[in-house]
Amino acid sequence: MIPTILKDGKFGKMSPTPPTENASNIASLLLSCPDQVGIIAALANFFAERDLNISRYAEYTDDGQFFSRLEWPMNDRWDDEAAFAEEFSGLADTYNATFEARFMNRCQSVGLFVSKQPHALIEMLNKYEANYFPNIEISFIVGNDESMQKLADRHGLPFFYIATDVDTLEYEKKQLEIIHRYKPDYVGLARYMKILSANFIDNAGCPIINIHHSFLPSFVGAKPYQMAYDRGVKLIGATSHFVTADLDQGPIIEQDVARVAPGASVQDMIKMGRDIEQKVFARAMLKVLEHKAIVFRNRTIIFN
Amino acid sequence: MIPTILKDGKFGKMSPTPPTENASNIASLLLSCPDQVGIIAALANFFAERDLNISRYAEYTDDGQFFSRLEWPMNDRWDDEAAFAEEFSGLADTYNATFEARFMNRCQSVGLFVSKQPHALIEMLNKYEANYFPNIEISFIVGNDESMQKLADRHGLPFFYIATDVDTLEYEKKQLEIIHRYKPDYVGLARYMKILSANFIDNAGCPIINIHHSFLPSFVGAKPYQMAYDRGVKLIGATSHFVTADLDQGPIIEQDVARVAPGASVQDMIKMGRDIEQKVFARAMLKVLEHKAIVFRNRTIIFN
Amino acid sequence: MIPTILKDGKFGKMSPTPPTENASNIASLLLSCPDQVGIIAALANFFAERDLNISRYAEYTDDGQFFSRLEWPMNDRWDDEAAFAEEFSGLADTYNATFEARFMNRCQSVGLFVSKQPHALIEMLNKYEANYFPNIEISFIVGNDESMQKLADRHGLPFFYIATDVDTLEYEKKQLEIIHRYKPDYVGLARYMKILSANFIDNAGCPIINIHHSFLPSFVGAKPYQMAYDRGVKLIGATSHFVTADLDQGPIIEQDVARVAPGASVQDMIKMGRDIEQKVFARAMLKVLEHKAIVFRNRTIIFN
Amino acid sequence: MIPTILKDGKFGKMSPTPPTENASNIASLLLSCPDQVGIIAALANFFAERDLNISRYAEYTDDGQFFSRLEWPMNDRWDDEAAFAEEFSGLADTYNATFEARFMNRCQSVGLFVSKQPHALIEMLNKYEANYFPNIEISFIVGNDESMQKLADRHGLPFFYIATDVDTLEYEKKQLEIIHRYKPDYVGLARYMKILSANFIDNAGCPIINIHHSFLPSFVGAKPYQMAYDRGVKLIGATSHFVTADLDQGPIIEQDVARVAPGASVQDMIKMGRDIEQKVFARAMLKVLEHKAIVFRNRTIIFN
């Protein structure tokens, strides 16, 4: 499932978790529609008429499509995102717009998947602890290697070990059970080294964000550092993207690269690559959790 | 003179040059005011009521101050920037805003100053020829080294050699005569290695943009690469800024850096530094000429 | 022809051009052999025994292969590279090494090919004029668009217009005639937009260096910026590589990237891409002309 | 104490810790002397005569001084660094060279100091756990804020809380007691926010590495992000350097920068700055622990 912005609030679930100290009094709106005269005025008026100050506004026009994001300090006008959506949908219909509101006082829930390599998970846990992300809760960690248990324990988070040495259908069923129990807003694949089936992606009920250890579209699939070495590239990179049924083909959220030193081995690349991977993954998760990503035609618009 | 945005169009001069092929049908508005409820709606409505489509909009709030830039496709409603300013000033007064409009069909004029090192000038001339900049005309080049004549000749531009081996007052007077004759919208110092007096800056009648060959505020003044070498920095940089009476202290428009190789000499730094300097200078000039720079409290807001 | 280092000096041609002011008194040696005990000592002794100071030395070991580059200030011991090669070949044979010496007092000749886009050519010409490169001569420019004539004229260089609206065999024959007349040490493709045939590459008699407007191996072939836009990458890049018969598959010399702004169009990418392309191309040409590139198994070792 | 390379092995202490799985069979040599003919041959012969393969060699010449680093796979010829130094000192004297050998099978000991901000410490601990560093042991953590205890506990490391609300002499005495008990090879200041006295530095008995949260020499001292904001720089940075008695003036080991988004507040800079600080600090510690840093005239030569 790609997190394109939906016309009506999709937020059936309200997390039972009490807002953390990071909870914020801000609401945000993502909106996308065909570019046309008056859309900005219509948006601005909607808020001005309700005496709400738009505290932050940004927009881009790309290929005839208009994308905007705005923030306002919440008051008690709307109880939740669904209430906002009801009141806003008239305007949206007029402009043939899709939109998604987020009330930041609602704690978002995140589930993380990991395999054997801990670095992307460690980065997420440390940044979570350091309040790098907005009002979120990491609700659970799923791993196919038992060694990750101790990382979860350190941070007091539930860890579910699900062996993947069985039939895909079987272990994905177990994974989906966890997901359906916690109903996370997002799942992050923190170097999870199993391909997810289309069925899993369809049934997860939330967007899934992956970190791939190459500068996509170069080096899709397994062993990208070996491929990068063999091709002799002078920069290696990492790519975080929304997961779709096509392997490593989903909309890209963030990428970065680093220069390869002369004489560097594949092992050297793997080692320095870890820093790029975890940095790119954390930045992409931040953008998604700050409600700054719109997907459109397999590309993303990422707001500052 | 710092190009803070002015309440009334400052553009007494309309360049006699016919619009080039780069001329555009776009107008832009820079606006700054204390942050307050309703300012975006007021702006949006101003244009919507006149049936004008805001084709691009961006804003930032910084330290309680609101900064925005917007573009609209021009029609024949306003003959020039002064006519727009007259109609817009009521709204601006209401919000205690300063603003500056620019009609891109008006060709902006640029004068360039250069000393002995040609690289920043060459970059400007080539990018000018390649239509990298919007609707501009490089009107003249002033140099204190005769060797620059041939560069001006290649591009068919007037070159004025003004020796600086005399009293500052004397050669600055000659320089001001050139400036007052051409009335450029901007003067760019493309590695001009003389300090300009406060009197010169006050009387130029237009913003002056400099490229300094260090990552300011490190290494103010002469021989920054030698200072960088002596301090053993691992990155060297360049800084383009608006010129004020305080040497290398004006509002920064753009900066960039590059890594120093181990064992690099001062000469190596100077050589690789040239690429950074000319790149940073061209980018800064582009931002200014695209009408994307606001100065506020000795800092700039630069729009994408 | 890939410029792997050859066992005997391949330099039949001595440029008739008198050494320029950039001519240097330095000789360099590139050497590659299976890694083994004593190779560094053998190299060092060869020079020490002849009372020559190795003024610069670097080496890398990669996948069991040893690569080194060293410089020494020339004296009159050897008249030319062939004389050096004769004396050095005994040591090289002992270690099963390939090598290539270069005497920098010999002016290297470079030919440039260009199509309609001038930016990479302009960068080369300006850096040539600024003595950015070591002791070289740009001997000729070949173009398939007449508009490039004026750039060649500015710099007083011979320009050969060869229309490519005919059979490949036909225009490549004309191109080869130019190359065989000038016998350049290197040919640089400064955004030359025709695919060279295997026959042409085999018969050029010198290495050919290309600049491709993408971060290879992503986006091989035509319209890479459109492909980059469609895929939604967050960084665009350029790649300079030695040309082989496989399109865009030759050994990579240099790459770099730049970040794409949100909302950037294909045109925006093309515009900002030019800066990366010309920078990467000039850097790659510099590395080759400074005798700092070794090709091994379709990869390069580039020395600092 | 600046870790310039010493003529005789300074390593009175041999860590009692058994070598970890990261222990390596490599020895390295750093050497510095006035540049002269034959030094490379002398070095190479020293090892070739003892049938030792130089597996890695690099050198730079800077301002008339020669710097080199080499590695060889250890055998049982020398029991320890002191034994090597005794045999090598004759050659070193001949060339007026200073040198330092390191046997990587000896576990190096590192002590870390921290204040209230945990990010640089967390990065060190995680990279330590991930075997990012060579054969080292983090022996102890000293902090002036009790909240860091839990981080030390997680990783099973001794934590010493030393309050700094007393006289400098007093708490530095306690800190020195810890240092003299553990005799670390290096002390890293992982965002330790107290100025160390000259007396402390002199008596620590090992090099001290600091991370400063600005791109030095810009913004020395306290509140560098506020200063960066006020000056309006477009890039912020971090600098890791050896500590000397002059605040933030010691030899720079590593620096890096990141771009400031338009409208970024001081808080935004602090948040994004953390990532740069911890990355730069870890890289600098890696270079020092890999025995790749030579100090010369308040600058460093850092080997790849």
| Plot region of A64 (φ>0 → left; ψ -120 to 50 → alpha; else → beta) | left
Q: What is the mean pLDDT of residues B153-172?
A: 95
User: Subunits with at least 3 CB pairs below 8 A relative to chain C?
Assistant: A, B, D
Which residues of chain C make contact with A60, given a CB cutoff of 8 A?
262-263
Beta bridge partners of D30: D69, D100
Which residues of chain A make contact with C248, given a CB cutoff of 8 A?
none
First to last CA, chain C: 24
Which residues of chain B make contact with A55, given a CB cutoff of 8 A?
35, 61
Comparing C-alpha atoms, which of C65, C63, C59, C62 is closest to residue C40? C59
Question: Distance (Å, rounded) from C-alpha C52 to C-alpha C72?
Answer: 7
The kind and range of the H/E element at A289 are: helix A266-289
Helix C119-129, helix B119-129: angle, nearest 10: 160
When the pLDDT of each residue in chain A is averaged and rounded to a whole number, the result is 90
Which residues of chain C make contact with A63, given a CB cutoff of 8 A?
265
Question: Distance (Å, rounded) from C-alpha B175 to C-alpha A169?
Answer: 79
Q: Minimal Cα–Cα distance from D65 to chain C, Å? A: 11
In Å, what is the CA distance from C260 to each residue of A253, C25, C238, C279?
12, 44, 13, 17
3-state secondary structure of D22: coil
What length does chain B have? 304
3-state secondary structure of B49: helix
Comparing C-alpha atoms, which of C206, C175, C177 is closest to residue C113? C175
Q: Per the CB < 8 Å rule, is C67 touching A263?
A: yes
Position B63 scores a pLDDT of 85
Position B62 scores a pLDDT of 87
| Omega prior to D224 cis, within 30 of 0 | no
Position A79 scores a pLDDT of 93
Question: Distance (Å, rounded) from C-alpha D166 to C-alpha D164?
Answer: 5
Among B54, B58, B61, beta carbon nearest to A55:
B61
Question: Distance (Å, rounded) from C-alpha D108 to C-alpha D289?
Answer: 8
Angle at D293 between CA D304 and CA D115, to 5 degrees: 110
Q: Determine what percent of chain B is predicted with pLDDT higher than 90.
A: 80
Question: Distance (Å, rounded) from C-alpha D36 to C-alpha D43?
Answer: 12
Q: Minimal Cα–Cα distance from D51 to chain C, Å? A: 7
Among A38, A54, A61, beta carbon nearest to B40:
A54
Position C8 scores a pLDDT of 32
Whether B104 has a pLDDT exceeding 60, the answer reads yes
Contacts of B39 (CB under 8 A, 6+ apart): B33, B66, B68, B95, B97
Q: Give me the active site residues of B, please.
A: 248
Whether C105 has a pLDDT exceeding 50, the answer reads yes
Whether B34 has a pLDDT exceeding 60, the answer reads yes
**Where do we find the tokens 């791993």?**
A143
Tell me: the pLDDT tens digits for A157-172?
Answer: 999 999 999 999 999 9
Dig out the tokens for C276 from the structure.
């990366």
Phi/psi for D120 (5° steps) reads -70, -35
Contact D50, D87 (CB under 8 A): no
Q: Per the CB < 8 Å rule, is B255 touching D234?
A: yes
Q: What is the mean pLDDT of residues C203-219?
A: 97
Q: Per the CB < 8 Å rule, is D44 touching C47?
A: no
Count interface pairs A-B at CB distance under 8 A: 60
Q: Determine what percent of chain B is predicted with pLDDT higher than 70.
A: 92
Question: Distance (Å, rounded) from C-alpha D122 to C-alpha C116?
Answer: 54
Q: Per the CB < 8 Å rule, is B44 touching A45?
A: yes
Contact A294, A2 (CB under 8 A): no
Q: What single-letter DSSP state applies at residue C243?
A: -
Contacts of A290 (CB under 8 A, 6+ apart): A28, A133, A134
In Å, what is the CA distance from B248 to each residue of A208, A269, B166?
49, 41, 23
Whether B118 has a pLDDT exceeding 50, the answer reads yes
**Where do we find the tokens 């931002």?**
B287
Task: For domain B108-302, give the fold.
Answer: Rossmann fold (3.40.50)
Q: Per the CB < 8 Å rule, is A45 touching B47?
A: no
In Å, what is the CA distance from C209 to each residue of B272, C244, D229?
22, 9, 44
Position A75 scores a pLDDT of 86
Question: Distance (Å, rounded) from C-alpha C229 to C-alpha C215?
Answer: 13
3-state secondary structure of A155: coil
Contacts of B136 (CB under 8 A, 6+ apart): B20, B22, B107, B108, B109, B110, B128, B289
In Å, what is the CA distance from C125 to each residue of B84, B273, C87, C154?
45, 18, 37, 10
Tell me: the pLDDT tens digits for A169-225?
Answer: 999 999 999 999 999 999 999 999 999 999 999 999 999 999 999 999 999 989 999
Task: Judge: domain A23-103, CATH 3.30.70.260.
Answer: yes
Which residues of chain A make contact with C232, given a CB cutoff of 8 A?
251-252, 298-300
Among D67, D235, D255, beta carbon nearest to B233:
D255
Count interface pairs C-D at CB distance under 8 A: 59
3-state secondary structure of C186: strand
Question: Distance (Å, rounded) from C-alpha C10 to C-alpha C81?
Answer: 9
Position B3 scores a pLDDT of 38
Q: What is the mean pLDDT of residues A30-38?
A: 91
Q: Per the CB < 8 Å rule, is A59 touching B57?
A: yes
Phi/psi for B38 (5° steps) reads 95, -5
Helix D119-129, helix A119-129: angle, nearest 10: 160
Question: Distance (Å, rounded) from C-alpha B17 to C-alpha D285?
Answer: 60
pTM above 0.90, yes or no: yes
Q: What is the mean pLDDT of residues A276-297?
A: 97
- Mutate which of B4, B211, B235, B295 to disrupt the D interface (most D C-beta within 10 Å)? B235
Strand B136-143 relative to strand B108-114: parallel, antiparallel, unpaired? parallel
Position A63 scores a pLDDT of 85
Which residues of chain A make contact with D118, given a CB cutoff of 8 A?
130
Q: What is the mean pLDDT of residues C266-277?
A: 96
Strand C208-212 relative to strand C186-189: parallel, antiparallel, unpaired? parallel
Q: Per the CB < 8 Å rule, is B271 touching C154?
A: no
Question: pLDDT tier at B40 (50, 70, 90 boundaries)?
Answer: confident
Q: What residue spans in chain A does CATH classification 3.40.50.170 cover?
A: 108-302
Q: Give me the active site residues of C, please.
A: 248
Question: Distance (Å, rounded) from C-alpha C78 to C-alpha C142?
Answer: 35
Among C118, C263, C275, beta carbon nearest to B279:
C275
Q: Minimal Cα–Cα distance from A249 to chain D, Å? A: 28
Position C97 scores a pLDDT of 97
Q: Per the CB < 8 Å rule, is A47 touching B54?
A: no
Contacts of A17 (CB under 8 A, 6+ apart): A107, A109, A137
Among B231, B234, B299, beta carbon nearest to D232:
B299
The ipTM is 0.90
Q: Per the CB < 8 Å rule, is A263 touching C301?
A: yes
- Mutate which of B35, B61, B233 to disrupt the D interface (most D C-beta within 10 Å)? B233
Tell me: the pLDDT tens digits for C119-153?
Answer: 999 999 999 999 999 999 999 999 999 999 999 99
User: Quick count: other Cβ atoms within 10 Å of Cβ A116?
Assistant: 13
Among B263, B279, B304, beta carbon nearest to C261:
B304
Tell me: the pLDDT tens digits for B173-215?
Answer: 999 999 999 999 999 999 999 999 999 999 999 999 999 999 9
Q: What single-letter DSSP state applies at residue A291?
A: T
Among C235, C257, C299, beta carbon nearest to A232:
C299
Q: Per the CB < 8 Å rule, is A37 touching B43?
A: no
Question: pLDDT tier at C37 (50, 70, 90 boundaries)?
Answer: confident
Contacts of B61 (CB under 8 A, 6+ apart): A55, A56, B35, B67, D263
Question: pLDDT tier at A13 (50, 70, 90 boundaries)?
Answer: very low
Comparing C-alpha atoms, which of D284, D293, D195, D302 is closest to residue D238? D284
Q: Per the CB < 8 Å rule, is A233 touching C252?
A: yes
Nearest chain D alpha carbon to A261: D304
Interface of B with C (CB under 8 A): 118-119, 122, 126, 130, 132, 154, 261-263, 271, 274-275, 279, 304
Question: Distance (Å, rounded) from C-alpha A74 to C-alpha A23?
Answer: 12
Whether A84 has a pLDDT exceeding 90, the answer reads yes
In Å, what is the CA distance from C278 to each residue of B123, C125, C141, C189, C213?
12, 11, 16, 11, 10
Question: Distance (Å, rounded) from C-alpha A239 to C-alpha A217?
Answer: 9
Dig out the tokens for C172 from the structure.
């490549």
In Å, what is the CA distance from B149 to each residue of B155, B176, C151?
10, 19, 18
Rounded to 10 degrees, what is the CA torsion of C82, C87, C88, C91? 150
Q: In what order do the strands lie in the sheet with D108-114?
A: D159-161, D136-143, D108-114, D186-189, D208-212, D235-242, D252-259
Q: What residue spans in chain A does CATH classification 3.30.70.260 cover?
A: 23-103
Beta bridge partners of B33: B66
Tell me: the pLDDT tens digits for C40-56?
Answer: 889 988 998 898 888 88
Nearest chain A alpha carbon to C61: A263
Q: What single-letter DSSP state applies at residue A146?
A: G
Position B22 scores a pLDDT of 46
Residues of chain D with pLDDT under 70: 1-23
When the pLDDT of each residue in chain B is averaged and rounded to a whole number, the result is 90
Dig out the tokens for B103 from the structure.
């009609």
User: Subunits with at least 3 CB pairs below 8 A relative to chain B?
Assistant: A, C, D
Note if D248 is an active site residue. yes
In Å, what is the CA distance from C20 to each residue of C128, C287, D174?
11, 19, 66
Q: Per the CB < 8 Å rule, is A59 touching B58?
A: yes
